[in-house]
A = this chain, B = another copy of it.
């Protein structure tokens, strides 16, 4: 799942991903994810904001991006 999500988005924390994505690409990602997830126990929660300026981001502590480059 991590590998799949990283093909479409940036990995920012444990099971959290972030990024700009088109509706078509997002549908593709969700469909692929459904095949590998367990509906009984797993969940994907998608927060969408049409404009980046509508969403303010604040990071406290370490930014995952620092690690991401080593993976």
Question: Which residues of A are in contact with B by a Cβ distance under 8 Å?
Answer: 12-16, 30, 33-34, 37-51, 54-64
Contacts and interface: CB of A to CB of B under 8 A. Distances in A.
User: Which of A15, A49, A60 counts the most chain B CB atoms within 10 A?
Assistant: A60
Contacts of A38: 61
Given A54-B55, A55-B55, A45 B12 contact: yes
> Chain copies in the assembly?
2
A27 to B, nearest CB: 11
A43 B66 CA distance: 12
B55 A40 contact: no
Contacts of A60: 30, 33-34, 37, 43-46
Contacts of A64: 43
